[in-house]
Amino acid sequence: MELIEHYVGGKKFSGGSKKTGKVFNPATGEQSAEVKLASKSDLDDAVKIANKAFVEWSNKPPLYRARILFKFKELIEKYSDELTKIIVAEHGKVYEDAKGSLTRGLEVVEFACGIPQLLKGEFTENVGTNVDSWSLRQPLGVCAGITPFNFPAMVPMWMFPIAIACGNTFILKPSEKDPSCSLRLAELFSEAGLPDGVLNIVNGDKESVDAIIENKDIAAVSFVGSTPIAKYIYENCAKNEKRVQALGGAKNHCVVMPDCDLDQAVNGLMGAAYGSAGERCMAQSVAVAVGDIGDKLVKNLIKKVEALKVGPGMDKKSEMGPLVTKQHLEKVKGYVDLGVKEGAKLVVDGRNLKLQGYEKGFYIGGCLFDHVKKNMRIYKEEIFGPVLSVIRAKNFDEALDLVNSHEYGNGVSIFTRDGDTGRTFSSKAKIGMVGINIPIPVPMAFHSFGGWKRSLFGDQHMHGPEGVRFYTKLKTITSRWPSGFKSNPEFIMPTMK
Ligand code: NAD
């Protein structure tokens, strides 16, 4: 059985912990590896190395750092097939989808290549007579990232390329369910010329996360995962005086207006609800059918959900792969059982799907509920599987109220042909990322990604300009040179002279 270790100081690192976790191939249901789970002292050892590396790395010119990022970008492109296959093997999503998610991570590296431009400060000549002032952004020190299973390349790449470009060093604790892609990315970054100790991967579970929270040499923590853990990270990092951004779960609505292009809405919903088996934080799990469009929408969806091609991620014909683990499969099936008990109408039932030759794989077919009500748990809670709930709303105001009353605020979209409706919706929705006739409005790398309400704890979104702000601290310098200036003690608040 393969043993997956850590990557610290530019090489494999075993650490002292004997604890391991199991990694599966979700397509076959077979265990594929054991992964080391770090102890507190393993994590602390890695931080010592990252802290030492910070001294030189933070002193390198931004252009020097950018040139290494350019090489890293080339290596990701060169090895994209290998990286994609690693994602498919441990996560289960279909090959082209996995490749797309790698590309979205690569785009953050491309953005970070512009770091000399991004770090340029602001200068004012003569803030007072012969007094100049300028502001600049400096790196924080050792930063840490804690990431979820559902995007093993993209989410870590929302974080470390920007943190490192800004001059920080980084400890990444990827999901213990699919750790291999992060390790391969770290090796490629080393091959690109990244000095040892700048990017370190420490595998682990709660023990290593708590060690990150408690380590005094970690200046900032970026987290992406479920809401209860995001809240725990946010509160405890703050208690330990760290800068923190913690992105949580979601329940994204798609509002389908009666005037929309129904084909576009149905196709958009199919990809957004069932792509990646619904294991996306921007997956649409609620369709809000407005006015009289409900019956037509559901009729069209039923045909497409029943025709969904479910299979292993490496099979080119598969549109949807398995779920990540057996436990997660059981959780999702449990929610479908619950929906039936709660009185929602299960119009497509994927629970009994069996795939010949893959009987042990973690598969479930697409599930579709109609007549879901807002007091049901299947509406209120995140299921994180291929389960779409249709809820009916009398009019636009009722639909907007549903969106705004929900505890989550990650993404939302509206399908309409009316500009006024689209604009009002985008302005009034209490949600971080809004799509108008766009089913999954994930911002590009040069914008920033983040939700509102209980989908994000903290102030800064990830990547893009907010990422640069998160991974740097602002300093403002005011200076005057002595020639021609007579100084006297001044006891009053200085003002412009
Ligand atoms: P998770 O919260 O279980 O795990 C995320 C990370 O936290 C992992 O690295 C895990 O090892 C660690 N962790 C788990 N339990 C912990 C505990 N008790 N104490 C400390 N650390 C712990 O999430 P997941 O199941 O890996 O990922 C799915 C979740 O992530 C979904 O809720 C999804 O919406 C969310 N997600 C959100 C975004 C976003 O941008 N908002 C993006 C991707 C995923």
Q: Cβ–Cβ contacts within 10 Å for residue 312, how many? A: 22
User: Cβ(382) to ligand 1 under 6 A?
Assistant: yes
Q: Is residue 326 included in any domain, yes or no? A: yes
Distance 172 CA to ligand 1 centre (A): 14
Ligand 1 atom with least separation from CA of 455: 41
Q: Is residue 139 included in any domain, yes or no? A: yes
Q: Are residues 167 and 300 in the same domain?
A: no
Contacts of 452 (CB under 8 A, 6+ apart): 409, 410, 430, 431, 432
Q: Distance between CA atoms of 279 and 383, rounded to whole angstroms? A: 9
Q: Are residues 274 and 366 in the same domain?
A: yes
Distance 128 CA to ligand 1 centre (A): 50
Q: Which parts of the chain have pLDDT scores under 50?
A: none
Q: List the residue whose alpha carbon is closest to atom 10 of ligand 1.
A: 175
CATH code for the domain in which residue 296 is found: 3.40.309.10
Q: Are residues 188 and 278 in the same domain?
A: no
CATH code for the domain in which residue 134 is found: 3.40.605.10
Q: What is the pTM of this model?
A: 0.97
Ligand 1 atom with least separation from CA of 384: 31
Q: What's the confidence (pLDDT) of residue 497?
A: 77
Q: Are residues 129 and 45 in the same domain?
A: yes
Q: Are residues 386 and 344 in the same domain?
A: yes
Q: What is the DSSP string of 342-354?
A: HT-EEEE--TT--
Distance 205 CA to ligand 1 centre (A): 11
Ligand 1 atom with least separation from CA of 229: 2
Q: List the residue whose alpha carbon is closest to atom 9 of ligand 1.
A: 175
Q: Are residues 431 and 469 in the same domain?
A: no
Q: Is residue 97 included in any domain, yes or no? A: yes
Distance 225 CA to ligand 1 centre (A): 3
User: Cβ(155) to ligand 1 under 6 A?
Assistant: yes
Q: Are residues 96 and 214 in the same domain?
A: yes
User: Cβ(249) to ligand 1 under 6 A?
Assistant: yes
Q: What's the confidence (pLDDT) of residue 408?
A: 98
Q: Are residues 227 and 266 in the same domain?
A: no
Q: Are residues 317 and 222 in the same domain?
A: no
User: Cβ(207) to ligand 1 under 6 A?
Assistant: no
Q: Are residues 285 and 264 in the same domain?
A: yes
Strands (E), 87-141: 122-128, 131-139
User: Cβ(221) to ligand 1 under 6 A?
Assistant: no
Is residue 143 annotated as a catalytic residue, yes or no?
no
Q: Are residues 90 and 200 in the same domain?
A: yes
Q: Report the residue among 87, 213, 281 best suited for mutation to probe ligand 1: largest number of ligand atoms under 8 A from its CB.
A: 281
Ligand 1 atom with least separation from CA of 449: 40
Q: How far is CA 243 from the centre of its chain?
A: 18
Distance 241 CA to ligand 1 centre (A): 22
Distance 248 CA to ligand 1 centre (A): 7
- Considering only CA atoms, which of 430, 446, 459 is closest in space to residue 246? 459
Q: Are residues 271 and 228 in the same domain?
A: no
- Element spanning 213, H or E: helix 206-214
Q: What's the confidence (pLDDT) of residue 184?
A: 98
Phi, psi of 447 (to 5 degrees): -105, -175
- Element spanning 144, H or E: strand 142-146
Per the structure, how many domains does the chain have? 2
pLDDT tens track for 377-392: 999 999 999 999 999 9
Q: State the residue range of the domain holding 111.
A: 2-248+455-477
